[in-house]
Chains A and B, each alone.
Chain A
Amino acid sequence: MPLDSHEVEKIAHLARLAVRTEDVPEYATNLSNILTLMAQMDSVDTAGVTPMAHPLDMPQRLRADQATESNQRELFQSIAPQVDAGLYLVPKVIE
């Protein structure tokens, strides 16, 4: 099922990816080819097959409720693009 430019732009927006207008047709072609590959899955009838989300057939392991982490703000914020007064900064958000 081929994707058109409009759909590519919609997906790019959902994924928050800037895509240059001139690159959209190439993405559309490549993504459409991948979707064609994916369509091979339709050759198998999977009615009644339990989906397998994970290779491990085991339950989730839990941890004890203990707060053991110490404050590492200085280290973590040393690699941040923009911080002030201990806060990460982004352009103003209007709610």
Chain B
Amino acid sequence: MHNKTIAELAAGLRAGEFSSEELTQAYLDRIERLDASLNSFITVTADAALQAARAADARLARGDAAPLTGIPIAHKDIFCTKGVRTSCGSRMLDNFIAPYNATVAEKLAAAGAVMLGKTNMDEFAMGSSNETSFYGPVCNPWNTGTVPGGSSGGSAAAVAAHLTPAATGTDTGGSIRQPAALCGITGLKPTYGRVSRYGMIAFASSLDQGGPMARSAEDAALMLAAMAGFDPKDSTSVDQPVPDYSRALNDSVEGLKIGLPKEFFDQGLDSGVARVIEAAVDEFKKLGAEVCEVSLPNSGLSVPTYYVVAPAECSSNLSRFDGVRFGYRCENPVDLEDLYKRSRGEGFGAEVKRRIMIGTYALSAGYYDAYYLKAQQIRRLISDDFRQAFERVDVIVGPTTPTPAFKLGEKFNDPVTMYLSDIFTIACNLAGLPGMSVPAGFVNGLPVGLQIIGNYFAEDRLLNVAHRYQQVTDWHQRQPSGYE
């Protein structure tokens, strides 16, 4: 059962081959048996999952099931789930039982999806290796000595190891696409505003976007259809109809114009990764796509720009964690300042504190123009680069990451080097564009991701392109040994 796609599982449920309860139990068993080696879950909600599965079975029996009814999924532990601990990977929220549901959690529950539990992540989604989690690092199922990527590392590892058919993730600078690439799965960061941010604990509000992580574009399409849509509770959510993402999957890509940004193939790109991407591009040519070079001249500045914008927003977003109304409070504070400083000092890990401090500095009197305002201006230039490129091409294709998964601990003590592992993914977030990563091959036994970037609200096109690619390749069907 655990090797079937969501579409196959949905068919099996409808045909009565197995019940959602059996399916859910099978996944819970796998988590129980295999997750000790990965640490991909922070919380497993077995009882609630089985209860939801039984409800789904009843709904299936009534015949009013949605595509995801009865399908187990996992939520990144950044989405608030009522009555369930929502830790955001932080000691700060280790005791936080969310009193309400994120819109994404609500929508997936309404569709009948069965939540298995909450997946591990970098603390407050700040990290590219899942090593900043209060609950310990997640291991990459392809090689448990390497990182799964981050910040949605738990979701990526769990999907890759078939501990869940699909999971939610969030992507602020690559946090869906980079772990998807490193774990050999399919991940999609939608257009900013496509998926509600309500109840998704904010890291950087103008960049954060939730999206699906699954084993194929087809599964991702089913997940996204349930997650996307207008939400009156999020005034940055866009009131635009959600297309049927599954319907366009098989459209032809003949004549599709693919742009290869020359800056993505410059120095810094691992030669093995470059070969994998070239091979993928050849596949698209075989499918009839037209390939040309495009330029994103300012994309080289996306990392420094991002490391001003994201920390600035996070420094403010994380001020609410003050030990007063929820979350961690230090022991015996002597006064208010002590309460604040120790609760936050002890509740947050080192990387979170670094980013809060950088953001605080960038916004403070005398530095605002040089850092924050300058970054906003370069953000405009980066966005304009994409605008010009999309006048010529339908999608932009390149590597998701400069290298495959790196070793646990390898970059942990060098923040700047760590930040550079998101060099190809960040620009999308700054511009608000949708981007995907699909498995495209291996280097030294580790998966390599192909990134596909589309124009605003072109998720259907991205899924179509990814699906056609997955029809002629089988990289997405490869399984890490030990997790078959």
Contacts and interface: CB of A to CB of B under 8 A. Distances in A.
Does A pair with B?
A: yes
Contact of B357 (A15, A18, A55, A58): A15
B333 A91 contact: yes
B380 A37 contact: no
B380 A54 contact: no
Interface string B373-386: 11111111101000
A17 B357 contact: yes
Contact of A54 (B206, B361, B375): B206
Interface string A65-76: 000000010011
Nearest to A47: B377
A91 B432 contact: no
A76 to B, nearest CB: 6
A41 B206 CA distance: 20
A46 B356 contact: no
Interface string B321-365: 011111101000111111111101110100001101110111010
Contact of A37 (B303, B322, B338, B362): B303
B415 interface: yes
A35 B416 CA distance: 10
B346 A27 contact: no
B132 interface: no
A79 B235 contact: no
B304 A40 contact: yes
Given A8-B357, A37-B307, A43 B324 contact: no
B431 interface: yes
Contact of B193 (A44, A56, A72): A56
Nearest to B315: A15
B377 A52 contact: yes
Contact of A44 (B319, B373, B378, B419): B378
Interface of B: prevailing SS: helix
Nearest to B428: A55
A21 interface: no
A38 B356 contact: no
B237 to A, nearest CB: 8
Nearest to A58: B238
Contacts of B358: 31, 34-35
Contacts of B333: 91
B49 interface: no
B390 interface: no
Interface residues of B, number: 71
Most buried by A among B354, B358, B416: B358
A34 B315 CA distance: 15
A85 interface: no
Interface string B126-144: 0000000000000000000
Most buried by B among A36, A56, A92: A56
A44 B301 contact: yes
For A27, A44, A88, the residue with the greatest tally of chain B CB atoms inside 10 Å of its CB is: A44
Contacts of B364: 11, 14
B336 A90 contact: yes
B2 to A, nearest CB: 35
Nearest to A18: B345
Interface stretch (B23-31, B50-58, B95-103): B95-103
A39 B325 CA distance: 38
B172 to A, nearest CB: 12
Interface in B149-180: none
Contacts of A19: 345, 353
Contacts of B207: 55
Contact of B338 (A41, A80, A91): A91
Contacts of A39: 304
Given A49-B380, A51-B373, 16 more contacts: A12-B357, A17-B341, A17-B348, A19-B345, A31-B354, A34-B307, A42-B374, A44-B381, A53-B376, A56-B192, A61-B239, A76-B325, A81-B324, A81-B325, A88-B324, A91-B335
| Pairs A-B, 8 closest by C-beta atoms | A55-B432, A18-B345, A51-B376, A46-B377, A81-B329, A18-B341, A52-B380, A16-B340
Interface of A: 3, 8, 11-19, 27, 30-31, 33-44, 46, 49-56, 58, 60-61, 63, 72, 75-76, 78-82, 88, 90-93
